[in-house]
Structure 1
Amino acid sequence: MNRTIKKVAVLGSGVMGSRIAAHFANIGVQVLLLDIAPKELLPAEEAKGLKLDSPAVKNRIVNASLDAAVKANPSPLYRKADVSRIKTGNFDDNLKDIASCDWTIEVVVERLDIKKSLFERVEQYRKPGTIITSNTSGIPIHLMTEGRSADFRKHFCGTHFFNPPRYLKLLEIIPTPDTDQSVVDFLMHYGDLYLGKTTVLAKDTPAFIANRVGVFAIMDVLQVMQQLGMTVEEVDKLTGPVIGHAKSATFRTSDVVGLDTLMNVANGLAQNLPHDEARDAFQLPEFLKKMGENKWLGDKTGQGFYKKVKGEGGKSEIQALDLTTLEYKPSQKVKFATLETTKAIEKLADRFKVLVAGKDKAGDFYRKTFAGLFAYVSNRIPEITDALYKIDDALRAGFGWDMGPFETWDALGVQKGLELAQAEGKTVAPWVQEMLAAGNASFYKVSEQGVKQFYDIETKAYKAIPGVENFVVLDNLRASGKVVWKNSGASVIDLGDGILNVEFHSKMNALGSDVIQGLLKGVELAEKDFRGLVVGNDAPNFSAGANLGLVYMFALEQDYDELNMMIAQFQQAMMRMRYSSIPVVGAPHGLTLGGGCELNLHCDKVVAAAESYIGLVEFGVGLIPGGGGSKEMTLRTALKYEEGEPEYNLLRNAFMTIATAKVSTSAHEAFDLGFLRRGDEVVVNSNRVIAQAKAAAIELAEDGYTMPVQRTNIKVHGRGALGMFMTGVHAMRVGNYISDHDLKIANKLAYIMCGGDLSAPTEVSEQYLLDLEREAFLSLCGERKTLERIQSILTTGKPLRN
């Protein structure tokens, strides 16, 4: 059947339910969010004369939950206005309304009896043929359908969203023996394309895939640290970004998630896995039991493995728990010789061999933990999944690992990893040795066509990972020889079908001279032999902006000729992209700041990941956008004048967006701020962005793309608008809302956006505005307070308001 999801019912409005509802609202789906009606009145309700059957009382729980979600930071909504798609109600009055829903998701408390009781009521109203799923992290899915009809069981499945649903990409799909295959196929596709998830098909085993392996990895770390006598700080130093895990590493992450959650999952696994060879790993160590008894559960109780206290002079300081004495002491900075040797190794995959070769305690830790992890995941096939890539997908998307266990093992070398496990007394599954004996030396490989393949244990052959045909993975294309040109900061890669891609690989993808050279080369090559260009990358962020260190160095040395040339080259590169003979499509994701934003402002079209945080943030370092950003926002504002809104209001809005360094909290919000415009696209699944951008470039080319002509008729308002801005900014200074230096920067920005000191509204060219922009940027580089702001960002990462 042709199934569409127009309306979803979410049953249960707690932290998880309200945020699942918010994410469906993000993608444009109507949501019915229901919860129980209260059994007692609050004193405030009694004082108002309300009764238990009053609508305000009956919907109090669900409305309070939704309000809390809307106010949460980070927000579960792309835009605050998206909450209008969510209608609230209660189980007593509104359960009947699920008859109009295409998908009903149960997200109530983790108790089988309560879930089964609710499903009994749901079946009275649910429309036959509609999907019904349970969001659970541990209860066996097949037990929930006992006593339900054949149609219910056929359309029932487990859907395990990870919290927070907007930001964590994993969605595990867990069918029962009765689930119709078409339902499973639909959910796998819908999760990927519409919800933006890495959808992983899991078996109905305890904790499914991600929590089974992820919690084992955490519990194994706890055992190893006790064996080696390590501290909380030492373990967090070793289990963070250096191995591609979150900066919060093991213990800080546990504090944020809540130790009760970790203990509940570990206890459940210890009880429900009688035949797991590593079952003992899930037994809680004594210090964790004691922490549970003391209610030291992490951030929710104010202390866990870490605690924030007031130190001398009222200054906050972080204390760490001594697991031997269970006393808190000031957190210590940690150094390991092994880690020092990896500082120069930027590529994550290249670090692992160095880490396990360490001669210090860090090396011992890595050898033991990797050995345990490799053995464990090898033995989970076919128990929790039939395909090894699903374990890697689940750990990357659910736990935020940059590389999954089998990818890590590959980076170390399968034979080396096997020897490591054996040396630590771990038993690796026989299929690994059989794979090596057959001459297959890795779990993954990339075909000549740039398609990633995995070793399939059942057929003993390599197969393409299902779904990868929908993605363009630059690493795979690079491995298959598709790089056309490269330098130290950028690569030009052939995406096929006549489209090139410019990828950055500088630190934080900062836009320096080498990246600018790459952009210009990409345009040149595309104009000569191709039909379109995409600018995108697979890094965590698109670009953090221009190379601020270089700006600071030239400014400090007062080398204004070099600075002028650098800014001019950046502007010219943006204009070269904008006025090329081939379509240029930007593919931003993550941080897209300063110069990264300016680059996308000059593309013919932008295909942005939903999680794109776009903004012109130069004000924070005492500058104005100098790579065409001030010009482009002025031009875009002028284009809106014909739409009838008061012109000064439009100009003021654009001015304030730059002057307050606003950054969109999603790609959808970037439309509101003017960074994206009609015709640009938003893609929910960031893995699909480059593929979709390629498709957009092809479409523009096939529609007969014609090179645009530079604008010479941009309306600017001169002194009339300039006076308005200067008066407003002066009032903010008098009110002490901004500093003298803020006033100076704001006046320079106003001068650019008003077209300078013109006596009347005038039409000017893009180059005229670019010259004003460059002049203002240069003059600000000569200001001591600007240099102080830049230095603060470069040295502390924090903005300075001086």
Structure 2
Amino acid sequence: MKRVIRKVAVLGSGIMGSRIACHFANIGVEVLLLDIVPKELTPEEQSKGLDISNKNVRNRIVNAALESTLKSNPSAVFSKKVVSNISTGNFDDNMKDIASCDWVIEVVVERLDIKKLVYDQVEKFRTPGTLISSNTSGIPIHLMAEGRSEDFKAHFCGTHFFNPPRYLRLLEIIPTPETKPEIVDFLMHFGDKFLGKTTVLCKDTPAFIANRVGVYSIMALLHLVEKMDLSVEEVDKYTGPALGRPKSATFRTTDVVGLDTMINVAGGLFNNLPDDKAHKLFELPEYVKKMQENKWLGDKTKQGFYKKVKGADGKSEILALDLKTLEYKAQQKIKSSTLEATKLVENLRERMKVFAKGTDKAGEFFRTSFFGLFEYVSDRIPEISDELYRIDDAMRAGFGWELGPFEVWDSLGIKNAVEGMKKYGNEAASWVHEMLAAGHESFYKVENGIKKYYDIPSKSYKAVPGSEAFIILDNIRPTNTIWKNSGTTITDLGDGILNLEIHTKMNTIGGEVIQGLNKAIDLAEKDYRGLVIGNDGANFSAGANIGMIFMAAVEQDWDEINMAIRMFQNTMMRMRYSSIPVVAAAHNLTLGGGCELCLHADHVQTNAETYMGLVEFGVGLIPGGGGTKEFALRLSDEFKDGQIEQAALRDRFLTIGQAKVSTSGVEAAELGYLQKDKFSITMNRSRLIIDAKNKAIELAENGYTQPVKRKDIRVLGKQGMGIVYAGANSMFAGNFISEHDKKISEKLGYVLCGGNLSQPTLVSEQYLLDLEREVFLSLCGEKKTLERIQSILTKGKPLRN
């Protein structure tokens, strides 16, 4: 049976319900969001003479919850426009409307009795055969299905989204014995491809997979703090980016999520897992109990492990909690020889070995915490999962770990780690010893570009299911690399398509990247039929290497800057006018030069989470790699019947002049960075490279022909510059921009309008590129521009001077 999701009902509009509703709206699904009817009027409603029958009153709870979610930062929606996909209502008046929905998702309060009352109503109105699921994180799924009809049970499943649903990629799928297998398969596929999730099949055990392992890890750490006399600052330094974890590390994350949330989940595990070897670790340490009593629950109560205060000078300062005295104090800088050593190691797996060999507190912390974690996760098979890769998937997608526990274990060498564990009183599960005895020395291995995991029941390696739908560059690079330099690697993706991977720091674009781009085009034009530019790193590209520009400008080596910018421009033009289709696979930060690269690609296959923008204005420059030229070209194409549209000029100018960065791939199109019919959105980041490859194949097979360079770009000359200058003067007079901002604005307008032309004129791309480069060079000679660049390079902060 073909199943299509056109309309979804979300029952419960709290934080999770509203955000789940927003994420379905993001992908274009119609959403019905329902909640309870208020029991009484507010004073404001009474003053207006309203009664409980009024629709606005009856929908007050759901509308207020949705409004609150739409104000949240970061945003729950890709664009304000998607909000129109959501309609609201209440359980009493609108439960009947779920009859038209293809999927009903229950997200009400975590009480079984209340959920069952809601399901009684769902049974009355739900159309047989439609999906029904619960987002519970703490109630056994099978208990919720008790007493329901056979059709309800067959189509019922747990679908546990992680908060916030837009950004955290984990979706746990928890079937009951009565759930039809095809329903499970559908949810796994839909969550992956359409919702952009890492879907993990879970058993119906307490806290499922991610929270079971994640909360164990946090609770073990909370106890380890006392044992090793660790400070809040030390723990967050040890468990942050150096370890491949989010910047918020452990205690900052707990403050954001809420200490009460962690306490509730830990309490549930303590009560429901009396036979767990780690049972005592789920009991709260005394200092956490006191924090709970004091209601120091984190951001929601304005203090937790950290507290933001204002000093005597009026400046804000974030204090850290002393876990022994429970007093807040100024944060201490953490010094560690182990951490210093890890800074020299880019590869995370190699960095794990440095941690494990550390001779200071950080090394001891690593061994104590990870050896305990290795024991715990190995003991959880087959209790929470039959396959080890599901545990790694859940921890990466749900908790933001770059490496799951079995992947970390692999990086240390299983045998070495098992021997180390014994010294710390930890013992790996018997199946690990059996695996080693049989000569298998890793949990994962790659064969012919396919990632395989050790399957315990068969005692052999099997392909990770679904991996054939992805292209993981790490897996194919060893065998498919055909050229590389210090900043790029060219890989054969198969089917006549090459991939250029940038792997400089933050994937910035310098001379080595320009060389790689030209080499990739050379190779593709000669022997292949298309080129993808993409990577598996954290970002597509944070832009051009401004450090190089700064050094040359300080030395006043204008010829070198001119040559570098000309080379960048020429490479962008060569890419645009090559004989093969070029597809950029954009994701996360796609800024400055990275954005300009996308502007010149034939197609941009963009991940939904793409933050794209021309941000050069922030460092006192204008886009110099063809970005300003490209906006002038697109502006020309927007003029209708030769008429000057001031609004179009203003919008294009402000996008660059305000250094606007999209908050999603959808918004990148709204800002003009992506063009209609020349971009596609991939929801699941893991599918991005293969989707880009398929697009390159499609363009080639549809008869791609080499474009002709444009010579018909209509620019407005002085007529347009007058509009720009008037706007810049007005903003300066109102103290909205500085004098240097005004100067940059005028120079930006000069290029967008084609310079000092007496009337609207048709010009070529090269004409505009020359203007762009001329202005870029002139701004490099400005003292205030150099001050802005220096601020970014040394402090990481923009300077307004």
The aligned counterpart of 2:784 is: 785
Contact 1:191 1:198 in 2 (8 A): yes
Distance 1:222 1:650 in 2: 56
| 1:359 Cα offset (Å) | 1.1
The letter for the 2-side match of 1:787 is L
Distance 2:421 2:17 in 1: 41
The aligned counterpart of 1:711 is: 710
The aligned counterpart of 2:746 is: 747
Match of 2:652 among 651, 654, 657: 654
Question: How is 1:749-764 mapped onto 2 (pairs within 5 angstroms)?
Answer: 749-764=748-763
Counting aligned pairs with the same residue, the percent is 65
The aligned counterpart of 1:727 is: 726
The aligned counterpart of 2:335 is: 335
- Is the partner of 1:148 in helix, strand or coil? coil
The aligned counterpart of 2:674 is: 676
Match of 2:638 among 637, 640, 645: 640
Distance 2:193 2:211 in 1: 24
The aligned counterpart of 2:686 is: 687
- Is the partner of 1:313 in helix, strand or coil? coil
| 1:119 Cα offset (Å) | 0.5
The aligned counterpart of 2:16 is: 16
The aligned counterpart of 1:586 is: 584
Contact 2:418 2:427 in 1 (8 A): no
Q: In the alignment, does 2:174 pair up with 1:174? A: yes
The letter for the 2-side match of 1:638 is S
Distance 2:722 2:328 in 1: 59
| 1:648 Cα offset (Å) | 2.8
The letter for the 1-side match of 2:794 is T
- Is the partner of 1:34 in helix, strand or coil? strand
Distance 1:373 1:721 in 2: 64
The letter for the 2-side match of 1:187 is L
Distance 1:702 1:643 in 2: 34
| 1:225 Cα offset (Å) | 2.0
Distance 2:529 2:420 in 1: 50
Distance 2:129 2:359 in 1: 61
Contact 1:169 1:198 in 2 (8 A): yes
Distance 1:734 1:367 in 2: 61
Relative distance call for 1:801 and 1:207 in structure 2 (3 A) is same
The letter for the 2-side match of 1:377 is V
Distance 1:493 1:667 in 2: 26
780-789 vs 217-226, which moves further: 217-226
The letter for the 2-side match of 1:798 is K
Contact 1:225 1:365 in 2 (8 A): no
- Is the partner of 2:313 in helix, strand or coil? helix
Q: In the alignment, does 2:574 pair up with 1:576? A: yes
- Is the partner of 2:573 in helix, strand or coil? helix
219-228 vs 483-492, which moves further: 219-228
The aligned counterpart of 1:161 is: 161
Cα deviation code 1:344-395 (max 9, x no counterpart): 1011110111111111111111110110111111111110011111001000
416-425 vs 167-176, which moves further: 416-425
Distance 2:296 2:342 in 1: 35
Cα deviation code 1:600-634 (max 9, x no counterpart): 00001110001001100000000000000000111
Contact 2:539 2:590 in 1 (8 A): yes
| 1:309 Cα offset (Å) | 1.0
Distance 1:778 1:595 in 2: 16
Cα deviation code 1:215-246 (max 9, x no counterpart): 11111111222111111111111000111001
The aligned counterpart of 2:800 is: 801
The aligned counterpart of 2:424 is: 424
Contact 2:499 2:534 in 1 (8 A): yes
Match of 1:495 among 486, 493, 496: 493
Q: In the alignment, does 2:298 pair up with 1:298? A: yes
- Is the partner of 1:746 in helix, strand or coil? helix
Contact 2:541 2:594 in 1 (8 A): yes
TM-score (normalizing by structure 1): 0.99
Q: In the alignment, does 2:476 pair up with 1:467? A: no
| 1:686 Cα offset (Å) | 1.1
Contact 2:584 2:598 in 1 (8 A): yes
| 1:208 Cα offset (Å) | 0.2
Relative distance call for 1:737 and 1:497 in structure 2 (3 A) is same
- Is the partner of 2:190 in helix, strand or coil? helix
| 1:644 Cα offset (Å) | 8.1
The letter for the 1-side match of 2:470 is F
Distance 2:586 2:716 in 1: 32
The aligned counterpart of 2:367 is: 367
The letter for the 2-side match of 1:39 is K
The aligned counterpart of 2:513 is: 515
Distance 1:317 1:416 in 2: 44
- Is the partner of 1:255 in helix, strand or coil? helix
| Number of corresponding residues | 800
The aligned counterpart of 2:129 is: 129
The aligned counterpart of 2:288 is: 288
- Is the partner of 1:314 in helix, strand or coil? coil
The aligned counterpart of 2:184 is: 184
Distance 2:580 2:505 in 1: 29
Cα deviation code 1:413-462 (max 9, x no counterpart): 111121122111112111111111111110011112x1111111111111
Distance 1:722 1:83 in 2: 37
| 1:139 Cα offset (Å) | 0.6
The aligned counterpart of 2:626 is: 628
| 1:641 Cα offset (Å) | 2.0
Distance 1:521 1:67 in 2: 51
The letter for the 2-side match of 1:647 is E
Question: How is 1:305-320 mapped onto 2 (pairs within 5 angstroms)?
Answer: 305-320=305-320
Distance 1:148 1:593 in 2: 52
Question: How is 1:136-285 mapped onto 2 (pairs within 5 angstroms)?
Answer: 136-285=136-285
The letter for the 2-side match of 1:494 is D
| 1:645 Cα offset (Å) | 7.5
Contact 2:605 2:688 in 1 (8 A): yes
Distance 2:410 2:477 in 1: 18
The letter for the 1-side match of 2:711 is T
| 1:643 Cα offset (Å) | 7.2
Cα deviation code 1:96-134 (max 9, x no counterpart): 100010000000011111101110111000000000000
- Is the partner of 1:570 in helix, strand or coil? helix
Contact 2:108 2:115 in 1 (8 A): yes
The aligned counterpart of 2:545 is: 547
54-63 vs 352-361, which moves further: 352-361
Distance 2:787 2:689 in 1: 38
- Is the partner of 2:639 in helix, strand or coil? helix
Contact 2:233 2:332 in 1 (8 A): yes
Contact 1:719 1:756 in 2 (8 A): yes
After superposition, the CA RMSD in angstroms is: 0.9
- Is the partner of 1:9 in helix, strand or coil? strand
Distance 1:740 1:121 in 2: 64
Contact 2:611 2:664 in 1 (8 A): yes
Contact 2:590 2:613 in 1 (8 A): yes
Cα deviation code 1:244-300 (max 9, x no counterpart): 001111101000000000100111101101221111111110101110011000000
Question: How is 1:447-486 mapped onto 2 (pairs within 5 angstroms)?
Answer: 447-448=447-448, 450-479=449-478, 481-486=479-484
776-785 vs 700-709, which moves further: 700-709
Contact 2:583 2:602 in 1 (8 A): yes
Distance 2:267 2:511 in 1: 55
Question: How is 1:757-776 mapped onto 2 (pairs within 5 angstroms)?
Answer: 757-776=756-775
Distance 1:686 1:142 in 2: 32
223-232 vs 189-198, which moves further: 223-232
